[in-house]
Amino acid sequence: MSDATEPTLRTEEMTLNMGPQHPSTHGVLRFVIRADGEVMREAVPDVGYLHRSIEKIAEKVGYHGFMPYTDRVDYVCAMFTNQGWGMACEKLAGIEVPRRGEYCRVISTEFNRIASHLLTVGLMGMDIGAMTPFLHALREREMINDLIEELCGARLTFNYMRIGGVAWDLPPGWREKALAYLDHLDPILEEYNALFSYNKICIQRLANVAPISAEEAINYNLVGPNLRACGVKWDVRKDMAYSAYADFEFDVPTGRGQWGTIGDSMDRYMMRIYEMKESAKILRQALTRMPDGPVLAKVVRNFRPPAGECQVRVESARGDQGWYVVSDGSGYPWRVHVRTGSFAAMGIIQKLSRGLMIADLVVLIASLDVIAPEIDR
């Protein structure tokens, strides 16, 4: 453009609406974007479209009755919300879960983690305009859904766990199927990398987009893979080992920034691939070393934990999930609060969006692995 035309060229700030029904916002959530051309001044998230008052429901349905509702807190990885609720109640009442029950929990949650990460990896492809990775990832995810369906009868909202353990033991022949699936998964992950992760277009779209520093991530309370991508080596499974995780050997991968900066979208995306491999490692150990015995402790039907309060932390697929439960000694919890990874991740988007391209906002949401029901609860 020549200098002569410049004084007459005037750009104006636009206010755009993205969502609530938008294919790349992973559920019903909305952004109000102030943009100058393709560059955003700011994207202000507007959440609450999926608010189902789950915390309020907990106060009305009692301890056992709340278990199926916890599935709906995060329906992409419902095993973790089951486990979080179970663990909080067990901590309040001082119940010990049988060893085999803990192993069943580890196995079901780790399969669920792989299923959730597969969805994230697939959706990342779809969000940046490649449909094929999504179909590939869903193909492998379906197999896990089949396995979990055989285990507990449901494919999405499992309601598999109970206070004091799990509802059912592994069905006959399930262990062999699960091990066969893991053998199938390892080369498939390499295939994903060759097909999509190391694809030049993918790297160019993800590398150096919206990097987050470690201090910033901690300050905004990012958790799980999003935090580890920034180089913070922290995993609740390892550092505050709960359930049976102390029995297993696995690594905690962190972002190294080999494609751009540490903590950029590419690092966050790759964390999911690394973690699937670690989950497979844990699963192999758990499936081969499973102890015998009952899977469910004896818990009274009229469950009344003593008055008190506690917080438990579970490493869900979207990171450290905190369950804060207050009991007044009656059959109904006084207050339940879930601190979720997606809620914290949404809080940082407004800050990161400044100066980003609109198309990169889609990448940012996908790389933070935000799931709308978990934000709104």
Give the total of residues touching another protein (CB under 8 A).
38
27, 374 Cβ separation under 8 angstroms: no
**Which of 35, 189, 346, 368 is close enough to bind another protein by CB under 8 A?**
346
- From residue 333, give the alpha-carbon distance in Å to each of 54, 63, 140, 289, 318: 13, 7, 39, 36, 25
For position 334 contacting another protein by CB under 8 A, the verdict is yes
DSSP string, 315-347: EETTEEEEEEEEE-SSSS-SEEEEE-HHHHHHH
For position 232 contacting another protein by CB under 8 A, the verdict is yes
For position 17 contacting another protein by CB under 8 A, the verdict is no
Is the CB of 144 or the CB of 370 nearer to another protein?
370
CA distance 253 to 125: 22
CA distance 59 to 54: 9
For position 332 contacting another protein by CB under 8 A, the verdict is no
Binding letters toward another protein, positions 287-326, x by CB under 8 A: --------------------xxxxx--------x-x-x-x
Which DSSP letter does residue 303 get? Answer: -
Which DSSP letter does residue 193 get? Answer: I
Is the CB of 171 or the CB of 308 nearer to another protein?
308
Chain-centroid distance of CA 180 in Å reads 25
Is the CB of 26 or the CB of 377 nearer to another protein?
377
Binding letters toward another protein, positions 197-216, x by CB under 8 A: ------------------xx
CA angle 267, 206, 256 (to 5 degrees): 20
Site for another protein in 43-82 (CB under 8 A): 47-48, 51, 53, 55-56
Minimum CB separation of residue 187 from another protein in Å reads 36
318, 374 Cβ separation under 8 angstroms: yes
The amino acid occupying position 50 is: L
Q: Is the peptide bond before 20 cis (omega within 30 degrees of 0)?
A: yes
Is the CB of 247 or the CB of 309 nearer to another protein?
309
Residues that bind another protein (CB under 8 A): 47-48, 51, 53, 55-56, 91-92, 94, 215-216, 218-221, 232, 234, 239, 307-311, 320, 322, 324, 326, 334-335, 337, 339, 343-344, 346-348, 376-377
